[in-house]
Amino acid sequence: MSRDEIYASSDADPRPFEFNESVARVFPDMLRRSIPGYAASLEAIGWLAARYVRPNTRCYDLGCSLGAAAEAMRDNVSQPGVSILAVDNAPAMVERCRQRLAAGPEEGRPPVTVVAADVREVEISNASMAVMNYTLQFLPLSGRDAMMQKISQGMNEGGLLVLSEKVVDGDDAVEALVADLHHEYKRRNAYSDLEISRKRAALENVLIPESIETHRRRLHEAGFTHMGVLLRYFNFVSIVAIR
């Protein structure tokens, strides 16, 4: 695993954050040291896949990056006739995702197809499970309602969506507290204050978080019947929604 030192040097790239080759190379380390509870979210995705995926249906990893969620679904589904589509629009991520999943599934596990595309343009149909793991927050605000409606319309009755996001709190004092705790989490994972500051600046206007209430409203309006927070660690949540 290559160590994330993208923002450590004095000549760190000041441009907005993007999922390029430099990020793809260190992405596992970046996730491990930046997102509290990330490993638990993947474990939960695997357990949910074993419970909710139905025979002869599709699963979607939308904004798959290196394919961790697709892999979690693949390794926990044994139902016949299932296929998994992993989608990302970053060429560097897609290439490494394909390498990661190139060995193919074990006998009895579903195949994974990795596609280079914008998640907003991918057809979703006959889905029993879909995952957006820290993806929606990078889409323009104006397109997020339509994205949830697209997923909902492509899901079978009883299908499950896992939506993981960084969120903001409506109480300013609580928001300041969880933001500070997140920065402390990064410090304890050996990020310097300079790296934290530079990363925050790079993500400004690129990653736009919303409140849990906004996500609930959007999911309800999209047609999901049941929804709730499955996991939360500081300002990172995994929400489940059932069609």
How many Å from the N-terminal Cα to the C-terminal Cα in the chain? 37
The conformational region for residue 129 under phi > 0 = left, psi -120 to 50 = alpha, else beta, is beta
Q: d(Cα 166, Cα 236) in Å, to the nearest integer? A: 4
Domain span holding position 215: 1-243
Q: What is the CATH number of the domain that holds 111?
A: 3.40.50.150
Do residues 191 and 163 lie in contact, with contact meaning Cβ atoms separated by under 8 Å? no
Q: What is the mean pLDDT of residues 34-53?
A: 97
CB 223 within 8 A of CB 152: yes
Separation in Å, CA 222 to CA 52, 84, 141, 213: 20, 23, 15, 14
The band of 10, judged by pLDDT with boundaries at 50, 70 and 90, is: low
Question: How many residues belong to the chain?
Answer: 243
> pLDDT tens-digit profile of 158-209?
999 999 999 999 999 999 999 999 999 999 999 999 999 999 999 999 999 9
The structure tokens 């939360």 sit at 232
pLDDT score recorded for residue 145: 98
Q: Write the pLDDT tens digit of every residue in 75-107.
A: 999 999 999 999 999 999 999 999 999 876 678
Number of domains into which the chain is organized: 1
pLDDT in tens, 97-153: 999 998 766 788 999 999 999 999 999 999 999 999 999 999 999 999 999 999 999
Q: Is the model's pLDDT at 11 over the cut of 70?
A: no
pLDDT at 12 over 70: no
3-state SS assignment for residue 187:
helix
CA angle 159, 164, 166 (to 5 degrees): 155
- What's the confidence (pLDDT) of residue 121? 96
Joined tokens for residue 177: 């507290």
